[in-house]
A = this chain, B = another copy of it.
Amino acid sequence: MQATIIAIGDELLIGKVVNINAAYIARKLNLIGIRVREATVVGDNRQEILQALERAHEQSKVVILTGGLGPTSDDITKPALCEYFGSKLVFNPDVLEQIKVFLTKRRGILNELNQSQAWVPDNCALLTNAIGTAPGMFFEKEGRCYFALPGVPFEMEKMLDEQVIPILIEKFKLEHIYHRTILTTGVAESVLAETIANWEKSLPQEVKLAYLPSPGIVKIRLSVYHHPQGQEMIAQAEQQLHAIIPEYIFGYDDDTLESVVGRLLLERGATVSTAESCTGGNIALSIVSVAGASAYFKGGLIAYSNEVKIQELGVDPKILETHGAVSRQTAEAMALGCLKKFKTQFALAVTGIAGPDGGTPEKPVGTVWIAVATESKVISNDFLFGDNRMRNIQRSTIAALNLLRKAILDC
């Protein structure tokens, strides 16, 4: 079954706002086996909305509209819907009551604009909006379901999850849908694809495969739709894949490298600290982006200058002279200094040339050394990324967290 998503709003077409709603809706529809045929954005324009509705009608059984329901003058979704579904606007006292309750809670003022939200089409079912003033609408036409939802993401998300999805599951009897996402790092998409090409060919045709690459990480998603044995098929495929590329897989589904590292540390009751040069704090930031990180992250040092590397991490000035700030020796000395300073079980150190300047023929921009120290040993590795500064910082962070993950597993 197919769906079309129509986002309405000039603010999306001038690039002021990113349409994050479409991805959220798509994800939720996919999980119940509804494929999104198209996700489009049109302006606050009657003609363009009507054209989009007509096209959606031809394509899909499910149409989700977002945005344009607000009370201000540029919101014309409601009149366009009335025209398309042959509705009249009628005053609904229940909606007015909900708006009043909402406004009282938020100390808002009931003005003419808010009151206009209580005028709704006479041939739709209304969806409650507990956290905003615009109710959602559910129309049916020629076997198709149309939902008009607010554009504010958290209002839309709540309405979709609690009202739209249950309606769709019931209307279309949706069952037996399975997904699994396998997360890999340390391998380029093209190399990965070649490595697992035979496995891919051997998959039952019901198992759909998608590559989802992002900088430093490639996700492999397996899906089976409307098949009672879906779960077993996916489990088997996943097991086979794990046997081929165990070294690249770091997690599943909603895991992140930082959440996996956090879980491993928590399980062991271990702590970590960081010493960063070129990444300038990004590794620490990734670690603390996980709620509850204070249980295993004690602190970090950003050793941007050589002076700080020497004085704060005890790096021998001779190492810096002989091997340079970007070297195995410096990275390892930083990690050992960090371990001592913060008294943690693991210490992660990174030194590199983020660019755009500072490269040499032997050590071009993008050269990065990463080291992990524990009381009993130090491991280190070098990488060569590209010439984009922020990208190098991101990729160094992923590589560093992955080296830390391996070090924890090897302990």
Could you give, for residues 4-20 of chain A, a 1 whenever the CB lies within 8 Å of some chain B CB and a 0 otherwise? 00000011111111111
Could you give, for residues 288-330 of chain A, a 1 whenever the CB lies within 8 Å of some chain B CB and a 0 otherwise? 1101111001111111110110001000000000000000000
Could you give, for residues 48-66 of chain A, a 1 whenever the CB lies within 8 Å of some chain B CB and a 0 otherwise? 1000100000000000000
Using CB atoms and an 8 Å cutoff, list the residues of chain A in contact with chain B: 10-20, 22-30, 35-43, 48, 52, 70-74, 105-109, 111-114, 131, 154, 188-191, 193-194, 210-214, 219, 221, 274, 276, 278-285, 287-289, 291-294, 297-305, 307-308, 312, 341-342, 354-357, 364, 366, 384-391, 393
Docked complex Cα distance between A203 and B41 (Å) = 28
Let me know if B285 and A281 touch, CB within 8 A: yes
| Nearest B residue (CB) for A108 | B188
| Nearest B residue (CB) for A389 | B291
Let me know if A299 and B304 touch, CB within 8 A: yes
Docked complex Cα distance between A161 and B287 (Å) = 34
Identify which of B17, B276, B341 contacts A212 (C-beta below 8 A): B17
Identify which of B17, B131, B279, B386 contacts A23 (C-beta below 8 A): B17
Residues of B with C-beta under 8 A to A305:
294, 298-299
Docked complex Cα distance between A114 and B284 (Å) = 35
Copies of this chain: 2
Residues of B with C-beta under 8 A to A303:
299
Residues of B with C-beta under 8 A to A384:
105-107
> Apart from A74-B211, A298-B305, what 15 extra A-B contacts exist at CB < 8 Å?
A13-B37, A15-B23, A15-B28, A18-B19, A22-B41, A37-B42, A39-B40, A71-B189, A72-B211, A73-B193, A105-B366, A108-B188, A280-B281, A280-B297, A308-B342
Minimum Cβ distance to chain B for residue A198 (Å): 14
Docked complex Cα distance between A175 and B374 (Å) = 62
Minimum Cβ distance to chain B for residue A275 (Å): 10
Let me know if B72 and A190 touch, CB within 8 A: yes
Minimum Cβ distance to chain B for residue A19 (Å): 6
Identify which of B20, B26, B284 contacts A13 (C-beta below 8 A): B26
Docked complex Cα distance between A193 and B357 (Å) = 41
Identify which of B30, B274, B288, B357 contacts A14 (C-beta below 8 A): B30
Give the interface SS of chain A, mostly helix, strand, loop or mixed.
mixed
Docked complex Cα distance between A113 and B312 (Å) = 47
Docked complex Cα distance between A25 and B13 (Å) = 9
Minimum Cβ distance to chain B for residue A117 (Å): 10
Residues of B with C-beta under 8 A to A20:
18
Let me know if B74 and A210 touch, CB within 8 A: yes
Docked complex Cα distance between A280 and B286 (Å) = 8
13 contacts between A and B (CB under 8 A): A15-B22, A15-B29, A16-B23, A18-B22, A72-B211, A73-B193, A113-B190, A113-B193, A113-B194, A131-B387, A288-B354, A298-B305, A300-B302
